[in-house]
Structure 1
Amino acid sequence: MPSHASNLSRRAFGGVIGASATVAALGTAAPPAEAASEPAPAERPFRAAGRPAKRPNILFILGDDLGWADLSSYGAPHINTPHLDKLARQGVRFTDAYSGSATCSPTRFSLYTGRYPGRTKGGLAEPIADRSVGLDPNHPTLASLLRGAGYATALIGKWHCGYLPDYSPTKSGWDEFFGNFGGALEYYSKLGLAGEYDLYKGDVREGDAEYKDLRYYTRILTERASEYVGRDHGDKPWLLNLNFTTPHWPWIADGDEAESAEVVRKIKAGNAGALFHNDGGSVEKYTEMVQDLDRSVGQVLKALKESGQEKDTLVFFASDNGGERFSYNWPLTGNKSSLQEGGIRVPTIVRWPARLDGGQVSHEPVFTPDWTATLLEIGGARPDQAYPLDGTSLAGYLLRGEELAERELFWRVRGERAVRRGDWKYYRGKGGADQLFDLSADRREQADRAADEPALLAELKAVWEKKDKELLPYPA
C-alpha cells in the first residue's frame, strides 16, 4: 500500500475489524496534514448479531465551489465551521479527495454516472450553459440503480445536468426533485443566468404553474432536506442528494435583501453577467456564506438525529469542485476550472456510525466516481455492465480493512490534463508544458520534477493519452 495511505478502523455492530494500523486524531482546527496519531482500537472479530448488515440511508451533501481549505477542520484560520468539523470528528476526513472535474456539471455527471464526464455528450460541457445537452435519461445513474435495489430517492437543490423538457432528475432515477436546473441563481428572486425563474417542485411542464418561494434559497433547501430525512419512509432505505448552491456566486448572504435587489435590477435590465457578481463580494461575505452552509448542514443533521436514523445513515459531504475568487485554498495552487490541485482537490467527509469509527483521517487519493461505485456496493445495487464504472469501490477499504491497489486518477478539461498515481501527479496546463509533481513533498505544485524523472513523466503521459482516446472528443 502506498506510504501516504492509512488504514481505518471499522465498526460492524460493535465489532471493529482491520484496526491494526494507526488513525489520525481530528482536532477541530488542526492543519490538514499534520494531525497527531493515536493507536487504533484493539482488533475484535466482525460480528453481525446473526443478521445481515442493514443497508444504510445515504445523505449525500454537496457544497458549491467550496475550496479545499474553506473548513476550519481543513485549516481555514478565519472560517468557523463547527458542525462540519464535528461531522469529521465522528467519521473519516479525507485529505486527498478530488472532484470528478474542475467545474459544476461535469463533476455531477461523474457522480451520477460513476464515469468520466467525457463518456457522455452532456459531460463535455464545462459547464452546461444551454438546453442542447444533458444527462441522457436512458443512462443508468446512482439514483436509478439504487431505486432498482429498493431505495427511495430524492434530489434537493442544484441539478445542472440539463434542462426541461428533455432532462431532469425525475427522468434519471430520482423519485422526487425540488430545486434549480441551472448552474446559478440569485438567492432571493431565484432568477437564473438567462433571467428566468429557476425553482421547481418536480417537473414543470407546459401549462403548469411555477413553484414560487422568494425566501433565501439556502433556508428553503435546508427546510426541505430536514423534512425529507425526518420523514417516515417505511421499510425503504433512502438516498437524498442535497445539493446546496452555497457558497457559489452571487455573493449574497441571508439578510442581504438590498444587494439582492441590485443584482435583480441588473438582470432585468438585460445585464447578462449580473449573476457573476464581478462587482461584489468580499472575503468577509464569503466567510459569512460558508458559515451559513455549515449551520444549514448542522440543522439537517439535527433533524436526522431526531428522526432516530442517525446510526444507520451514511452521511457524505464534499464540494463539486475547487474554490472560487474568495476561497481559502492554501497551500494549493489554482482554483475552479483548473486541474491544478486547487481546482479539483475538495474537502470530503464520510460518517456512518453503525460501521465506521470516528476521529479518522485518510490520505488515500480518491475522486468522485469512486463514491458512486462505493455507494452502489454498500446499497446492494449492481452497476449496468453496458456502462462500466470508472471509479473504484472503497467499501472494502472503509469497511473490511482491504488495501487499495495503486491506480491512476484521470482528469481532462479543455486545454488541461492531469493524472495522479500515488504521490505523483502529471499535469499539463494551457501553456502546453508537461509537468510532474511529487505531491507528498509539494502540494503547491511549484517544484517541477519532469527533468528529474523523464521515464515516469513519459509513463503517466502515456496513461493519460490512452484514456483520452476512450472518451468523446470535445466539439469544435
Structure 2
Amino acid sequence: MKIKLLILLSFFINLQAADKPNILLILSDDQAWTDYGFMGHKHIETPHLDKLASESVLFKRAYVPTALCRPSLMTLATGRYSSVNGVTGNNPKADSKNPNNPDLKASVIANIDRFDTIAELLVEQGYLAHQSGKWWEGSYQRGGFTHGMTKGYPAHKKGRHGDEGLKIGREGNKPVTDFVDMAIEKKKPFFLWYAPFMPHTPHNPPKRLLEKYKKYDLTLPIAKYYAMCEWFDEACGDLIKHLEDKGVRDNTLIAYVCDNGWIQQSDKNGYAPRSKRSPFEGGTRTPIFFSWPEKFKAQDRKELCTSLDIFPTIVAAAGARMPKGLPGLDLNSYMSEQKEIPRDHIFGETFAHDIADISDYEASLLYRWVIKDKWKLLLTYDGKTDKGKPKYEEKEQRPQLFDLSNDPSEKHNLAKDHAEKVAELAKLINDWYPVTKRKTLTEYK
C-alpha cells in the first residue's frame, strides 16, 4: 500500500511539474551597474544581454543588500539579509571568538543548513536543479541542488568559492547544456544557478576581444576588464541560444543580477574605492531584470528593486512553498499586470571582508543604508575591518546623505543641510533592526 501511495504521489508531482516554468538565474561577478550596452556604456558591448534586457521587465534602479561576493550570493540562496543568515563576509578570521569551534570554515558553511534554500524549495516541486560557477557553501548538494559542479569544502580542501564550478563560461557551457538536455529528456522542469567567474579577475579575455578594446586608447587594465564583460556576455548568449534551440525559452523565467559592483583601476589590477565592498552606488547598484515570454511583457520599470526580491519571485513562479518572514517581495503580479510596486524604500548593510566573530555579526558591521525616493542615507559603524581596526576616511565618520537624482556619483554629502531628512531615514534604519553592540559614528569634522 505504501509503495502504491509513493507511486501515486510521484505521478502527481510529475504532472504538476510539467506546467511549471524552467528557471535560469544568471549571476554576473564583479561588474559595475553602468557596464552594459543597455545601461548606456559608451565602449562595452553586451549584445546578448542587451537583447535579453529589451525583452524583459527591467529594473535599472536595483541593488544588492551587501556588496561582497559570498554574502551577496548567500542572500540570493536564502532570501535573507546577511545579518540574518550569518554569512557577512568571505572568510572567518583566525582570531574569531569561538575557541570551541576550531574549524571556522565549516562553522560558517553550516549556516546554509538553517534555511530553506531556493534550490531545495524548487526540488520539492519536482525540479531538477543545477549549480555552476560561484558557490561558497560547501558542495552543491548541501545547497539543495540535485546536480552541480562544485565539490566544496571539506571534500575539496581548496574549494573556497566554487572549485570545479568556476570553469563554467570560461571553458564553455557543456556541463549546463548537458543538464538541460537531460532534464528535457526526462520531462522535468529545471533550475539553473548560472554564476560564471566572470568578469571577475583574472582578467584574461580572449586575444580577439582584448584587441577590440585596445583600439579605444584605454589603459591595459581597463581594456582587459571591458573585454571580460563582453566575454561574459558571450557565455550568457551561448546558454540562452541553447534554450531557444531546444524550444524551451518561452516557458523559461530568466532572472539577472550581479553580485556586486566593480570600478576598475586604470593603472593596475584591482578595484577602485567606492566600488566592491562599499555601500556606495559603485558597490551595491546593479541592473535586475526578469524575462518570461509567456507571462511578462517588456517593461522599463522606475521603481526600486532589491536582489532579495528574486528569491520570492522565483519561488512563487514555481508554485513552491514560500518561507515565512522573507524581506523581499514576490514581483510576479506587479510584472504580469504592470502594477506599481507598493514600496518606497529598500535597505542594505556592509560588513568587513573577513568575519571578525562568526557568532556576532555586529563585530564586522561597517555601514547600514536606506534608499527612499531620491534620497540615500549611509550610517557608519565601528565594526572591525580585516586588520582588526576601524578603517575609515575622516569624511566617512558621519551620516552621509545623497540626492541620487542629481548626484548619482555621491560626491556631495547633504546631511548638514537636511537634518530632518537624516532623522527620518535614520529612524527607518533603526526600526529595521536594532544595533546594540556597535557605536554609530556621527561626528561632523
TM class, shorter-length:
0.7 to 0.9
Name which of 99, 112, 122 aligns with 1:136: 112
Say if 2:328 is the partner of 1:364.
no
Give the secondary-structure state (helix, strand or coil) at the position aligned to 2:24. Answer: strand
Question: For 1:409-430, what per-residue CA distance to the aligned partner results, in whole angstroms no more than 9, with x for missing partners?
Answer: 1111132221112222111354
How far did residue 462 of structure 1 move?
Answer: 1.8
The separation in 1 between residues aligned to 2:132 and 2:228, in whole angstroms, is: 19
Aligned to 1:435: 400
Unaligned runs of 5+ in 1: 1-50, 162-166, 183-190, 202-212, 257-279
Superposed counterparts of 1:144-293, under 5 Å? 144-161=120-137, 167-179=138-150, 181=152, 199-200=163-164, 218-220=169-171, 222-233=173-184, 234-254=186-206, 282-293=221-232
How far did residue 408 of structure 1 move?
Answer: 2.8
Aligned residue pairs: how many?
Answer: 366
Aligned to 1:105: 70
TM-score, normalised with respect to structure 1? 0.70
Say if 2:287 is the partner of 1:335.
no
Give the secondary-structure state (helix, strand or coil) at the position aligned to 1:377. Answer: helix
Give the secondary-structure state (helix, strand or coil) at the position aligned to 2:113. Answer: coil
Amino acid at match of 1:225: V
How far did residue 100 of structure 1 move?
Answer: 2.6
Greater length-normalized contact order (CA 8 Å, ≥ 6 residues apart)? 1
Name which of 31, 45, 49 aligns with 1:66: 31
Cα 1:103–1:472, aligned 2, differ >3 Å: closer, same or farther? farther
Cα 1:311–1:81, aligned 2, differ >3 Å: closer, same or farther? same
Name which of 75, 80, 93 aligns with 2:40: 75
Cα 1:150–1:422, aligned 2, differ >3 Å: closer, same or farther? farther
How far did residue 115 of structure 1 move?
Answer: 0.9
CA contact (8 A) 1:119 1:471 kept: no
Please identify, of 88-97 and 332-341, the stretch whose mean Cα deviation from structure 2 is larger. 332-341
Percent identical residues: 30
Aligned to 1:124: 88
How far did residue 302 of structure 1 move?
Answer: 0.7
Cα 1:333–1:68, aligned 2, differ >3 Å: closer, same or farther? farther
Name which of 238, 242, 255 aligns with 1:303: 242
How far did residue 375 of structure 1 move?
Answer: 0.9
Question: For 1:215-261, what per-residue CA distance to the aligned partner results, in whole angstroms no more than 9, with x for missing partners?
Answer: x65343522222233434334321111011111112222469xxxxx
Question: For 1:340-382, what per-residue CA distance to the aligned partner results, in whole angstroms no more than 9, with x for missing partners?
Answer: 1110001223211111123x31121111111111111111112
Question: For 1:19-55, what per-residue CA distance to the aligned partner results, in whole angstroms no more than 9, with x for missing partners?
Answer: xxxxxxxxxxxxxxxxxxxxxxxxxxxxxxxx99943
Name which of 60, 67, 84 aligns with 2:49: 84
How far did residue 113 of structure 1 move?
Answer: 0.8
Say if 2:291 is the partner of 1:351.
yes
The separation in 2 between residues aligned to 1:195 and 1:241, in whole angstroms, is: 17
Cα 1:52–1:318, aligned 2, differ >3 Å: closer, same or farther? closer
Say if 2:377 is the partner of 1:377.
no
How far did residue 473 of structure 1 move?
Answer: 8.2
Superposed counterparts of 1:398-437, under 5 Å? 398-414=335-351, 415-429=366-380, 430=392, 431-437=396-402
Name which of 431, 434, 438 aligns with 1:466: 431
CA contact (8 A) 1:140 1:384 kept: yes
The separation in 2 between residues aligned to 1:472 and 1:74, in whole angstroms, is: 40
Aligned to 1:12: none
More helix, by proportion: 2
How far did residue 128 of structure 1 move?
Answer: 6.2
CA contact (8 A) 2:183 2:189 kept: no
Question: For 1:309-358, what per-residue CA distance to the aligned partner results, in whole angstroms no more than 9, with x for missing partners?
Answer: 0100011222101114259xxxx982010001110001223211111123
Question: For 1:140-172, what per-residue CA distance to the aligned partner results, in whole angstroms no more than 9, with x for missing partners?
Answer: 1111111112222111111023xxxxx333122
Question: For 1:51-86, what per-residue CA distance to the aligned partner results, in whole angstroms no more than 9, with x for missing partners?
Answer: 999431110010100110111111211111111111
Aligned to 1:35: none
The separation in 2 between residues aligned to 1:61 and 1:127, in whole angstroms, is: 24
Cα 1:196–1:281, aligned 2, differ >3 Å: closer, same or farther? farther
Name which of 392, 399, 422 aligns with 2:329: 392
How far did residue 465 of structure 1 move?
Answer: 2.2
Question: For 1:273-331, what per-residue CA distance to the aligned partner results, in whole angstroms no more than 9, with x for missing partners?
Answer: xxxxxxx961111122111111111110110001100100011222101114259xxxx
